[in-house]
Structure 1
Amino acid sequence: MFNKWKPMWVTFLEDGVEFYKKKTDNSPKGMIPLMGSTISNHCQEFGKRMFVFKITTSKLQDHYFQASHQEERDAWVKDIKKALMCIQNGQKFARKSTRRSIRLPDTINLSQLSLSMRDPDHGIKEMKLEKDKKTFNQVFTGTCVVDWLIASHSVRNRQEAIMLGSTLLNEGYLHPAGDISKNAAEGLTETTLLDNSDALYYFPDSGFFSEGNSSDDDAILKEEFRGNVVKQGCLLKQGHRRKNWKVRKFVLRDDPAYLHYYDPAAGDDPLGAIHLRGCVVTAVEDQSKKQEVEGNLFEIITASEIHYFLQAASSAERKDWIKAIQTVSKTGK
């Protein structure tokens, strides 16, 4: 009605998409049925607004969604396209359909295997790599996945490792990063996971982030962007002048310790940066600080005594952000 963009918690069902005002709400604000719907990627209707996709219902109603980054948008579009195909063919949507086709042993627990792969001491080592003038943070190669599965005695040979890795990818325990791995994940190769040092992957919620370099000069990043991405996500931020609250995407880096914030609709240039070395970060429970927002607030006070007020979507998310920022502020220069 008003054509305004609002942050929503969105839940994907096998036959529809529900959206909530908050993650903790019991009932949705609305539901988009997928029967007879179509989905469009790479929407161009909004100028600078990036990572938008559109669901058009059977009644020709358009619903637009914007993801926080390209990989998130592609994952939503891929799953919804698969669900639409399943509905059209009278099938039930399920990510685990690959288990039967490649005959994995019933004793393999994919969830437990994923946790072992992410173990900081004995799991797959995440790296910062440069491919095709882009810098990928918190990634690893397909070859690393295959080597780890063999070394951990999860499989007997490389072929079994590729099959098991493909299942982890198809069921969402791994995500593709870069054109080579994305093309494979879309079914353009014999297996969805590639035993290839040029095929890059990342763990969901790991802090993965990619940055494009348009020339050799751009490869020399600013000092504050040299650190590894520790955490990223969207938060509400209070403005310093008007004191209004706006959704911003935050990227937390270590060594040097910086928290950059972006307009999710305006591209890759940050609106500002918070130097975290020696900062103080605490949860805010004082009602006078909340104004028009509800709970889950926290405050960052920098070494130069600049105050930033932020709001997370839940108490658990606030706790995670505070812990991550405290760690970076102590270890990063």
Structure 2
Amino acid sequence: MEPKQIKEGYLVKKGTVLNSWKVVWVVLSEDGVEFFKRKTDNTPKGMIPLKGAVLTSPCQDFSKRTFVFKMRTAKNQDHYFQASHLEERESWVKDIKRVITCLQGGRKFTRKSTRRSIRLPDTINLSELYIKMRDQEDGVKELKLEKEKRVYNHCFTGGTVVDWLISKDKARNRHEALMLATGLLTEGFLQPAGDLSKEAVEGGAESAILDDPDALYYFADSGFFCEGYSSDEDVILKEEFRGNIIKQGCLLKQGHRRKNWNVRKFILRDDPAYIHYYDPTKGDENPLGSIHLRGSVITAVEFVPEVTLTLNGSPQCQGVHPPLKLVYQAPATGGVHLPK
């Protein structure tokens, strides 16, 4: 029998020969991970067996890349994958770890926990803790703070994190709270924002996170950005990024001129309502484009003319007919076609 498929989606993979990062379609099954050059391919470009494999997440081998995880096979071959955002990485890591555990124990894969009745008071689930910290009503409040002629948006201080952990009975004292916060920072849930916090992380301080009103941090999945005191034009440009992130992930996008289809990472923000799209193989600092949603019309359509699917900059096949697309039509910019 064919192994059961568990999960599939776009990820960015580091090449084993050229060391370049390219978008691939990844399928997780009960015995391994297959990756395809494009979603419509019948034959995988490669297969990674998970029996005896070791998963490392977060993988911090690449300083300029976030949300990376590493799989080392039983034959000591390393494979690096990058997700588009934290929630996506955690979802892949959770399922891959489960597959590895099931293979070691000779069991069938299941997402239901077999340890539901077991309570380990000394074990903290950082993923669950992070979700509670992100709660809009009861979590850590994101602020706009000014330090040394810079404005930090959607951030908070290390002291705020420590106070929250103690107030919510997640830690008995400030020392325990610092340990928890350091774990969140090490696992990539929190990120250093200012010079003081970055120096603490890079300099090997006693505590990677600082209980200090001048040490700034932000949630990995927030709309954080930093701006200096500059011209009015720059302020208007940054206004696009002030909204909270509502949804993000990879989609196929049709180009304006060639009408080719490329995998792009999309981020939807509210107030002001914008969609920004990026090349997922590169850093997220500079979007390839933006769509202002105010006054836009969103229409689902059933068909688009035949086009060339382009993946990682190279034309792959003709005649792409996505069954469902979204057409974003802004008054001034025309249409941008996005398959659901």
TM-score range, shorter chain: 0.5 to 0.7
Render the CA deviation track for 1:298-324: whole Å, top value 9, x for unaligned: 22122458321124xxxxxx5xxxxxx
Confirm whether residue 157 of structure 1 aligns to residue 173 of structure 2.
yes
Distance in 2 (alpha carbons) for counterparts of 1:262 and 1:152:
37
- Where does the alignment leave 5 or more consecutive residues of structure 2 unmatched? 1-14, 55-59, 94-119, 307-318
Distance in 2 (alpha carbons) for counterparts of 1:237 and 1:165:
38
Render the CA deviation track for 1:174-202: whole Å, top value 9, x for unaligned: 34344543444457110122212333333
Matched residue, 1:315: none
Amino acid at match of 1:281: I
Matched residue, 1:208: 223
Of 279, 293, 300, 1:276 maps to: 293
Distance in 2 (alpha carbons) for counterparts of 1:172 and 1:40:
13
What is the alpha-carbon root mean square deviation over aligned residues? 5.1
Distance in 2 (alpha carbons) for counterparts of 1:62 and 1:105:
34
Determine if contact 2:244/2:271 at 8 Å carries over to the other structure. Answer: no
Matched residue, 2:109: none
3-state SS of 1:115 partner: helix
Counting helix residues as a fraction of each chain, which structure ranks higher?
A: 1
* Aligned positions of 1:1-333 closer than 5 A: 6-8=22-24, 19-21=35-37, 29-30=45-46, 41=62, 105-106=121-122, 108-131=124-147, 135-185=151-201, 188-204=204-220, 206-211=221-226, 213=228, 216-218=229-231, 221-223=234-236, 225-226=238-239, 227-230=242-245, 231-263=247-279, 265=282, 268-284=285-301, 286-288=302-304, 291-292=319-320, 294=322, 297-303=325-331, 306-311=334-339, 318=340
Distance in 1 (alpha carbons) for counterparts of 2:197 and 2:42:
37
1:64 to 1:184, Cα distance in 2 relative to 1, 3 A: same
Query: How many angstroms does 1:125 deviate by?
Result: 0.9
Amino acid at match of 2:253: K
Query: How many angstroms does 1:161 deviate by?
Result: 1.2
- With the length of structure 1 as denominator, give the TM-score of the two structures: 0.57
Between Structure 1 and Structure 2, how many residues are aligned? Answer: 266
Matched residue, 1:82: none
Determine if contact 1:224/1:257 at 8 Å carries over to the other structure. Answer: no
- Where does the alignment leave 5 or more consecutive residues of structure 1 unmatched? 44-49, 80-103, 312-317, 319-333
3-state SS of 1:221 partner: helix
1:26 to 1:201, Cα distance in 2 relative to 1, 3 A: farther
Quote the sequence identity (%).
51
Determine if contact 2:197/2:209 at 8 Å carries over to the other structure. Answer: yes
Determine if contact 1:146/1:195 at 8 Å carries over to the other structure. Answer: yes
Query: How many angstroms does 1:143 deviate by?
Result: 1.2
3-state SS of 1:155 partner: coil
Distance in 1 (alpha carbons) for counterparts of 2:42 and 2:226:
37
Amino acid at match of 2:173: N
